[in-house]
Amino acid sequence: MTTVAIIGPGRVGTLLAVAFARAGHRVTATAGGSQGARAAIAELVAGVRPERLPADAARRAALVVLAVPDDALAQVVTDLAVAGSVGEGHRVVHVAGSHGLGPLSRAAACGARVAACHPAMTVPTGARDPDLLVGTTWAVTAPSADRDWAHALVRDLGGDPHDVGDDFRTLYHAGLSVGSNAVGAAVATARQLLLAARIDDPKAFLDPLVRASVANVTDRGAVALTSPIARGDVGTVSAHRAAIAADVPELLAAYESLARATLAPVAVALAPEVVRALEEAIAGR
């Protein structure tokens, strides 16, 4: 059993507090965020002491988990180091996807063991069930001497650890952001188009289609894309654009952006003149 401090009681921090407690660890303190957010963790997990300052929470635990916004991470670590609240005997882990070990350097210089462990899972507001993390793939970036315990930590939470090089964390996170948010934005646009077509239940059409499409592309890559753009159907693309411009012009910019994003990975399989014609059709020229 490890004593754990959660710095950053937001969506991820709150879920992690519950997950660590269920895994048999003792969550002793939380800090950062609002007073209400800290109190919410204390209500969910017995024995948690809400602290206003991260340094005070860190002193109460052997494992310090940083679930703060990415841009605040380096400053929080610096504050912990300056306060002398992390050092030898501490493990400091952040769960930010876009950062590797750089923001943890001040903690490492104080003698703490460090790792970056990011769950590749979206955490909705109000999520409290640690089963959400079971089976989730985690990106682990750690010095070689710390890799074993970082992997073990992820497995304690039911996760599947995979090593990601420190130099590649930003690219890794960009991939996840596109795969999650950009795909979500595409589906949201598709839903609006179906509603504009007087489809009462867009989910009935989109749910099976989107799931199958995503599964095919994750398995096979761009070759699995099936659409008028992938087939080079310039006339269909022109018709799509004209209908959107006439009926829901507010979605035209989104359609153009998504169409260009679809064309980019399939262009290599199309004749150059077809690619040019598609680019003109997408732009409405």
* Alpha-carbon distances of 53 from 25, 33, 86, 172, rounded to whole Å: 22, 10, 13, 31
Instruction: Quote the domain boundaries for residue 160.
Output: 3-164
Exposed / middle / buried, residue 111 (Cβ in 10 Å: 0-12, 13-18, 19+): exposed
Asked whether residue 20 falls in the same domain as residue 80, the answer is yes
pLDDT number for residue 276: 94
Asked whether residue 148 falls in the same domain as residue 129, the answer is yes
Asked whether residue 33 falls in the same domain as residue 156, the answer is yes
pLDDT number for residue 127: 79
Q: How far, in Å, CA of 237 to CA of 68, rounded?
A: 44
Q: Are 11 and 125 in contact (CB under 8 A)?
A: yes
Asked whether residue 44 falls in the same domain as residue 141, the answer is yes
Asked whether residue 136 falls in the same domain as residue 176, the answer is no
Asked whether residue 77 falls in the same domain as residue 183, the answer is no
Q: How far, in Å, CA of 285 to CA of 278, rounded?
A: 10
Q: Around 129, how many Cα atoms within 13 Å sit in the side-chain half-sphere? A: 4
Q: Are 246 and 239 in contact (CB under 8 A)?
A: no
Asked whether residue 26 falls in the same domain as residue 131, the answer is yes
Tens digit of each residue's pLDDT, the chain (285 residues): 799 999 999 999 999 999 999 999 999 999 999 999 999 999 999 999 999 999 999 999 999 999 999 999 999 999 999 999 999 999 999 999 999 999 999 999 999 999 999 999 988 777 789 899 999 999 999 999 999 999 999 999 999 999 999 999 999 998 888 888 888 899 999 999 999 999 999 999 999 999 999 999 899 988 888 888 988 989 999 999 999 999 999 999 999 999 999 999 999 999 999 999 999 999 998
Asked whether residue 52 falls in the same domain as residue 36, the answer is yes
Asked whether residue 266 falls in the same domain as residue 197, the answer is yes
Torsion angle (degrees, nearest 10) of CA 148, 151, 155, 160: -140
Single out the residue in 109, 138, 164 at which a domain terminates.
164
Asked whether residue 82 falls in the same domain as residue 222, the answer is no
Q: Are 255 and 240 in contact (CB under 8 A)?
A: yes
As for how many domains the chain has, the answer is 2
Q: Are 202 and 194 in contact (CB under 8 A)?
A: yes
- Residue 91 structure tokens: 């493990």
Which helix (H) or strand (E) is 247 found in, with range? helix 234-247
- CATH number of the CATH domain containing 48: 3.40.50.720
Q: How far, in Å, CA of 274 to CA of 228, rounded?
A: 12
Asked whether residue 127 falls in the same domain as residue 26, the answer is yes
Q: What's the start-to-end Cα distance of the chain, in Å? A: 65
DSSP state, residue 48: P
Single out the residue in 111, 140, 164 at which a domain terminates.
164
Asked whether residue 10 falls in the same domain as residue 143, the answer is yes
- Residue 178 structure tokens: 């596109």
pLDDT number for residue 180: 85
Tell me the three state secondary structure of residue 200. coil
Tell me the three state secondary structure of residue 9. coil
Give the number of other Cβ atoms within 10 Å of residue 273's Cβ: 10
Single out the residue in 164, 182, 198 at which a domain terminates.
164
Pairing state of beta strands 91-94 and 113-119? Answer: parallel
Q: How far, in Å, CA of 285 to CA of 277, rounded?
A: 9
Who's near 285: CB < 8 A, 6+ residues apart? none
